[in-house]
Amino acid sequence: MRRRLRLLGAGLAVLVGLVGGLVAAAEETPEWKVGLARVKITPEGPIWMAGYSARNKPSEGVLLDLWAKAMLLEDKAGQQGLVLSADVIGFNKQVWDAVVERVGQKTGLKREQILLAPSHTHTGPVISLGGESGYNMPEDQQKVVHQYTEKLVGQLAEAAAAALADRKPARLSWGWGVAHFPMNRREFTSRGVILGVNPSGYADRRVPVLRVDDAEGKLRAVLFGCACHCTTLTGQHYVISGDYAGFAQEHIEKQFPGVQAMFIAGCGGDANPYPRGEIEHVRKHGPDLGAEVCRVLQGKLQPVRGPLRTLQESAEAPLQPVPPKEELEKLAKGPFHVAYNAKRMLAALEAGKQMPPSFPVPIALWQFGEDLTLVGISGEVLGGYVLRVEKAIGPLNLWVAGYTNQVFGYLPTATAIAEGGYETRGLYGQVVGFFAPEAEEAVAAKIRQLAEKAGRKMPSP
């Protein structure tokens, strides 16, 4: 009996979701066209895994398949934007450029029309097209990683082309829910800020949800976010998975068969799931987040209308003067990317190389009419940036994402830089250096400039 009641409840929930869409459908003809596609990107064999330097062997088996998914949006004037989500750690500049080029060849889309959304899973493969990766991989594994990444670039381009070909009339709406497991991880101790648990620190717990309905008001796809590292599983785990983001997508797609669920990370550079470390934790956080997205989908959502404007520029974020050699030598004995970065800086110093005074932080800004602004900041963006962006361009109709397009290292706030800790000690890709406190203002100013250009209604500065 209880089971029958549960089934009835689930049936009613689906019905409510459908009817909600149907009511909207009767109002007007849809102004959007949306195309969808997906491709499985689970590595075919053992591969070196990303996110933890301590791993000493390639992956062993698969806990959950990895996916890349494409969503092509087209407004009624024909303006297009493509979201490409993938259950991988992130894309460096070289891989981002390669994806832009290949997707461009297949679809004609330009860089500013493409938004890469890696989940930052720490149980996925290393993504690299060669060059330094920061991992102690044996040579044969470097080849495996390179081949996997080459193939992935092609798969993303194929998915983009398939989504373009799949365009159908659609209606967009959005809303948000709340996640309870993201935890600020900058723990203050007598030894300084460590990677730990800080319940009184800030974490953005908002779960933004973009709903895509077909012309009949039937749910077709959902794009949702969460601002938290995909680090429920740790360096002790050697199974491939999309961490909580992968399990959340799976949960939603089970609730709504045929619907494509896509994840876009938020500014979770300084947030870890809590608790973490066990497979049972990922099996809880993922479905918990998925269930929240399903709840939001069945509630009242705000319409998202066009026109669509997609912008992509970079903020020149100042770097600190190069620290003295002695300090770098100390940092070179520190954890993972801190040591990696310090060693690269020492090598550059020894080679007599000039250090750059700033680093271009890519910023994407998608404006949906007057209804929604999606800001995609590149890098491992700290949660404090959400508050900074809200201050810069107003908190309403705003979705702030991180890790989009290029991941170059952490993007710390001025406050975090003053406090110190893991997230403040440098870039690990492309160039070497440490962000200066002024980087935050440079990023905020660029976002405001882009928002003005895109026609977002904003409070006066």
Which residues in this chain contact Zn ion in the complex, by CB under 5 A? Answer: 380
Nearer to Zn ion, 174 or 340 (CB): 340
Q: How far is the CB of 361 from Zn ion (least distance, A)?
A: 16
- Closest to 403 in 3D by CA, of 207, 289, 225, 266: 266
Q: For residues 32 and 263, which CB has a smaller minimum distance to Zn ion in the complex?
A: 263
SS3 per-residue string spanning the chain: CHHHHHHHHHHHHHHHHHHHHHHHHHHCCCCEEEEEEEEECCCCCCCCECCCCCCCCCCCCECCCCEEEEEEEECCCCCEEEEEEECCCCCCHHHHHHHHHHHHHHHCCCHHHEEEEECCECCCECCCCCCCCCCCCCHHHHHHHHHHHHHHHHHHHHHHHHHHHCCEEEEEEEEEEECCCEEECEEEECCEEEECCCCCCCCCCEEEEEEEEECCCCEEEEEEEECCCECCCCCCCCCECCHHHHHHHHHHHHHCCCCEEEEEECCCCCEEECCCCCHHHHHHHHHHHHHHHHHHHCCCCEEECCCEEEEEEEEEEEECCCCCHHHHHHHCCCCHHHHHHHHHHHHHHHCCCCCCCEEEEEEEEEEECCCEEEEEECCEECCHHHHHHHHHHCCCCEEEECCCCCCCEEECCHHHHHHCCHHHCCECCCCCCCECCCHHHHHHHHHHHHHHHHCCCCCCC
| Of residues 121 and 312, the one with the C-beta less far from Zn ion | 121
Nearest approach in angstroms of CB 229 to Zn ion is 5
CB of 185 to Zn ion, least distance (A): 10
Identify which of residues 93 and 218 has a Cβ nearer to Zn ion in the complex: 93
The answer to whether 354 and 342 are in contact (CB under 8 A) is no
Residue number with the shortest CB distance to Zn ion?
Answer: 380
Query: Which residue's CB is nearer to Zn ion, number 250 or number 380?
Result: 380
Residue 37 vs 245, nearer CB to Zn ion: 245
**Least distance (Å) from Zn ion to the CB of residue 194?**
16
Residue closer to Zn ion by CB (options 18, 195) is 195
For Zn ion, the closer of residues 113 and 231 by Cβ is: 231
Shortest distance, CB of residue 107 to Zn ion, whole angstroms?
30
Q: Which is nearer to Zn ion, 232 or 255 (CB)?
A: 232
Q: How far is the CB of 380 from Zn ion (least distance, A)?
A: 5
Output the smallest distance, CB 234 to Zn ion, in A: 13
